[in-house]
Chain A
């Protein structure tokens, strides 16, 4: 009932078109991944393909924005099933837990610093307009 209140009747078929576009890009990505044995995951190739498609056929796509916005807003729950897979990784965690935490902490700190430093330096050097 709530959908009927907020979405015009012609919205649903257009929504299907947006979902089709996402799935088609992913499917094409998977196909490219398998045929060329390009080691990039199919979904990542699909993302590049979708950027290409949007550049090729540039127009406003409000429903695609709605659908991807919905997916992004609910991204967290999609990796719960995978995270629960830790149930089978007890031995690994007890053996390398300290190393995993140390490496993740060190890598996150370093990445933050290096990325911000390089961005600011390059911004001042090559694109000086306002604050970095």
Chain B
């Protein structure tokens, strides 16, 4: 362990990251992908503890794990594929999709930034929560663009996804908001990938609507926030 040459290669932290993630991922798989057992939720604190214990700087870690985080870009571009696959559905449901997407995206941004502003948070923190309904890679990119903290955005988004996936069914049941299309779409807009995974567990149509909503919301929220950033 004390060989500096070996410690200096990206190999060590890349391997440790994949290993730690795999442990929690198989645990999550075994528990039917329960939102509370999301592997990122558990591997992040473990990896932070390992970095602190070994006295490794985040700079070193970030450089070592670059090959993994680099894939986020192509993955975001790939969201085009579900949108394209669902084009018939988009055309058929164009009006509900456009209206619900617009209302949901605006509600998400205004309520998140508004409530946090009541706590006196500075602009940097507000910019990190503003894209909280988009899928993590987009939220990180948008937060960075607005002068926020990508790491903070990633964790907020994760928390929102876990929370949304857990409350959606009881909440929408209690309000009598039925219909798998409406529910799935709301889950995708409010709780991105984790919500989408949950929607697929409930119903295939809900899942398809959720993944479509997630992909469309990535563009709409990013565009809305870009316009806001230009004006403010």
Q: Which residues of A contact B (CB under 8 A)?
A: 19, 22-23, 25-26, 29, 38-44, 46-51, 54-55, 64-65, 67-68, 71-72, 74-89, 92, 96, 98-120, 122-123, 125-127, 131-132
Contact = CB atoms under 8 A, between A and B. Distances in A.
A110 B107 contact: yes
B190 interface: yes
Interface residues of B, number: 110
Contacts of A113: 171-172, 175, 177, 186
A26 to B, nearest CB: 5
B97 to A, nearest CB: 8
B133 interface: yes
B75 A78 contact: yes
Secondary structure of the B contact surface, majority rule: helix
28 contacts: A22-B74, A39-B225, A41-B141, A43-B74, A44-B142, A47-B215, A65-B85, A75-B193, A77-B25, A77-B39, A79-B140, A83-B40, A84-B44, A85-B154, A86-B151, A89-B152, A103-B113, A107-B107, A108-B160, A112-B167, A114-B104, A115-B103, A115-B182, A118-B103, A119-B99, A122-B95, A123-B179, A132-B178
A119 B186 contact: yes
A55 B225 CA distance: 27
Top 3 A-B residue pairs of the complex, sorted by shortest distance between their CB atoms: A85-B151, A99-B119, A132-B179
A112 B133 CA distance: 10
Contacts of A88: 58, 151
Interface of B: 17-18, 21, 25, 38-40, 43-44, 47-48, 51-52, 58, 61-62, 65-66, 68-69, 71-81, 83-85, 92-93, 95-97, 99-101, 103-104, 107-108, 111-116, 118-121, 125, 129, 132-133, 135-138, 140-142, 144-145, 149-152, 154-156, 158-160, 163-164, 167-168, 171-172, 175, 177-183, 185-187, 189-191, 193, 213, 215, 218-219, 222-223, 225-226, 229-230
A10 B133 CA distance: 40
A82 B136 CA distance: 10
Given A109-B171, A131-B179, A71 B96 contact: no
Nearest to B74: A22
A80 B20 CA distance: 10
A82 B140 contact: yes
B58 to A, nearest CB: 5
A19 B77 CA distance: 11
Contacts of A39: 145, 225-226, 229-230
Given A50-B80, A115-B190, A23 B47 contact: no
A76 B137 CA distance: 10
Given A40-B222, A46-B77, 12 more contacts: A43-B77, A47-B77, A65-B81, A79-B72, A81-B61, A88-B151, A96-B121, A99-B121, A102-B115, A103-B112, A111-B107, A132-B96
